Amino acid sequence: MKSYKIFTINPGSTSTKIALFNDDELIFSQNIMHSTEDLAIFSEINDQLDYRKEIILKVLKEKGQTLEGTDAFVGRGGGFKTVKSGVLAINELMLKDAFDGFAGQHPCNLAVQLANEFVREFGGVAYTVNPPVVDELQDLARATGLKNIYRKSSIHALNQKEVGIRYAHSQDKQYEDLNLVIAHLGGGISVTAHEKGRMIDSSDNINGDGPMSPNRSGSIPALSVLRLAFSGDYTQKELEKLLTREAGWMDHIGITDGIELADRIKQGDSYAKFVHDALVYQVAKNIGSYATVLKGDVEAIILTGGLAYDKSLVEQLKEMTGYIAPVISMPGEYEMEALAAGALRIFRREEEAQEYTGEAVWQGFDFEEASLDGVN
């Protein structure tokens, strides 16, 4: 059977993760960390494209790896209109919507653009798998208290589905048979109610919902944000950047690195301890609310993402939410393996790649005239 060379690309808010596979066998991987200073010079997310591309090529060269002969470039995706879960072929329309940041501005918007750049240079095909804009929300989850503003689906879908599948298999069960609350705790944080394989409600971590994260504000009372917006101190772009890239731990104490935060706490920094515990507290409250969405019928609460390496954070969350269901820690992410596996399913004809049409999964309710601006 022919084997396939697959390169996976995962630009996050604090890192660019890359991995090279021969079929599903990992050949090489690297988590390229970006300091706050490195990224601060880019006023727009799209301005980071060349920087992230060059750094990927530099690391590959240093490690003696080449992208020649790659069959598929698979980017984590994001930024475009909502889609069903699965593998999608990257096309011009998707590239345009990702560039425009239809779903908000986040480095994951660069993933499909980077995959496309590499295909142009080295050949092969470009895919994305379970991007953050996978939309499986139930109707009630979409509502806000304003008629033309709807909550959006913006989830670490790739990793959340993968850990859900792996957890289910560890219990000799199927993901599609379980109710789970999964919290991805990374640069961004999304907490999601998974009902029998569908992500029926989640915190929109790109557009200012859910818990604060190392670099995002999370939910803030609307009028406080309104006052900030009209204070004259910020342009719209500056305020968007503050809320989505420079808030959370970053705004409070100037760092996004969980390891450095833990060091500061060890050295007796009480402000560092306060913001650490505040983040944990907000995650716990979110877990409780998504358990309620599942009517308390929760098989397990799964903690994943880089912050789940922090043992004290995991212990605190166990103490606060363990009454709901067993709390399982699956630190880090399985995103690179999931991206490669997606491409492999297409090559082996086990799945068909979806075409991106630019038509959002959800088009609004038929009982009111929805502003499309707010729905997808």
Ligand X SMILES: CCCC(=O)OP(=O)(O)O
Ligand Y SMILES: Nc1ncnc2c1ncn2[C@@H]1O[C@H](COP(=O)(O)OP(=O)(O)O)[C@@H](O)[C@H]1O
Which residue is listed with tokens 């939309």? 135
Which residue is listed with tokens 């919290």? 183
Q: How far is the CB of 214 from ligand X (least distance, A)?
A: 9
Are 249 and 217 within 8 A, CB to CB? no
**256 contacts which partner out of ligand X, ligand Y, none, CB within 5 to 8 A by kind?**
ligand Y
**205 contacts which partner out of ligand Y, ligand X, none, CB within 5 to 8 A by kind?**
ligand X
Q: How far is the CB of 267 from ligand X (least distance, A)?
A: 27
Contacts of 31 (CB under 8 A, 6+ apart): 15, 17
Q: How far is the CB of 269 from ligand X (least distance, A)?
A: 24
Phi/psi for 63 (5° steps) reads: -90, 5
Residue nearer to ligand Y on the CB measure, 104 or 306: 306
**197 contacts which partner out of ligand X, ligand Y, none, CB within 5 to 8 A by kind?**
none
Q: How far is the CB of 188 from ligand X (least distance, A)?
A: 3
**306 contacts which partner out of ligand Y, ligand X, none, CB within 5 to 8 A by kind?**
ligand Y
Residue nearer to ligand X on the CB measure, 159 or 316: 159
Angle at which helix 258-266 crosses helix 270-293, to 10 degrees, equals: 130
Q: Which of 365, 354, 366, 319 is nearest to 80 (CA)?
A: 354
Residue nearer to ligand Y on the CB measure, 179 or 215: 215
Angle at which helix 236-245 crosses helix 222-229, to 10 degrees, equals: 140
Residue nearer to ligand X on the CB measure, 154 or 282: 154
**CB crowding 202-228: b at 16 or more within 10 Å, else e:** bbbbbbbbbbbbbbbbbbeeeeeeeee
Residue nearer to ligand Y on the CB measure, 77 or 214: 214
Q: Which chain residues interact with ligand X by CB under 6 A?
A: 12-13, 78, 106, 108, 132, 154-156, 186-188, 190, 205-206
Q: How far is the CB of 334 from ligand Y (least distance, A)?
A: 11
Residue nearer to ligand X on the CB measure, 70 or 154: 154
Q: How far is the CB of 142 from ligand Y (least distance, A)?
A: 25
Residue 83 is given by DSSP the state B
**190 contacts which partner out of ligand Y, ligand X, none, CB within 5 to 8 A by kind?**
ligand X
Strand pairing report for 179-185 and 300-305:
parallel
**160 contacts which partner out of ligand X, ligand Y, none, CB within 5 to 8 A by kind?**
none
**132 contacts which partner out of ligand Y, ligand X, none, CB within 5 to 8 A by kind?**
ligand X
In the chain, at which residue ranges do the beta strands (DSSP E only) sit?
5-11, 15-22, 25-33, 72-75, 87-89, 125-129, 179-185, 189-195, 198-202, 300-305, 327-331
Residue nearer to ligand X on the CB measure, 188 or 218: 188
Residue nearer to ligand Y on the CB measure, 66 or 312: 312
Q: Which two tokens stand for residue 185?
A: 């705790």
**131 contacts which partner out of ligand Y, ligand X, none, CB within 5 to 8 A by kind?**
none
Coil/strand/helix, residue 256: coil
Q: How far is the CB of 161 from ligand X (least distance, A)?
A: 12
Coil/strand/helix, residue 74: strand
Q: How far is the CB of 371 from ligand Y (least distance, A)?
A: 30
Q: Which chain residues interact with ligand Y by CB under 6 A?
A: 12-15, 186-188, 214, 256-259, 262, 305-307, 309-310, 333
Q: Which two tokens stand for residue 328?
A: 């399982």
Identity at 87, one-letter amino acid code: V
